[in-house]
């Protein structure tokens, strides 16, 4: 796949890659210069629980994730 650099110095990841890796607008990446003309782009790690709700909602087995009833501390 190829992409181009804009006049503002920005480049766009192709849509196919963004869909495959679930890359959303605003996510951060680090770029490292390995050599002249050779670079590595690395997605920065999110927080530990980032994406957990999406992961649970994508579960193939319906009813896997169910909310538990909340309890009041008044009964303690």
Please give the pLDDT value at position 76.
Answer: 65
Among candidate residues 49, 3, 43, 9, the one with its CA nearest the CA of residue 26 = 43
Which residues, at least 6 apart from 16, have a Cβ–Cβ distance to it below 8 Å?
1
pLDDT in tens, 11-57: 889 999 999 998 988 888 999 999 999 999 998 876 667 777 777 77
State the pTM of this model: 0.51
Among 4-13, 21-30, 64-73, the range scoring the smallest mean pLDDT is 64-73
Could you please state the CATH topology (level 3) that the domain comprising 1-65 is classified under: Pemi-like Protein 1; Chain: D (2.10.260)
Among candidate residues 1, 47, 9, the one with its CA nearest the CA of residue 27 = 47
CA distance 71 to 39: 53
Residue 13 tokens, joined: 């990841």
Q: What is the radius of gyration, based on Cα positions, of the chain?
A: 20
The residue behind tokens 């994508």 is 58
Query: Given pLDDT bands bounded at 50, 70 and 90, which one contains residue 64?
Result: low
């Amino acid at each position: 796949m190829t992409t181009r650099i804009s006049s503002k110095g920005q480049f766009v990841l192709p849509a196919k890659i963004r869909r495959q890796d679930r890359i959303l607008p605003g996510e951060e990446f680090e770029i490292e210069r390995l050599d002249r003309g050779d670079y590595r782009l690395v997605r920065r790690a999110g927080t530990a629980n980032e994406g957990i709700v999406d992961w649970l909602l994508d579960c193939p087995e319906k009813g896997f994730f169910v909310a538990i009833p909340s309890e009041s501390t008044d009964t303690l």
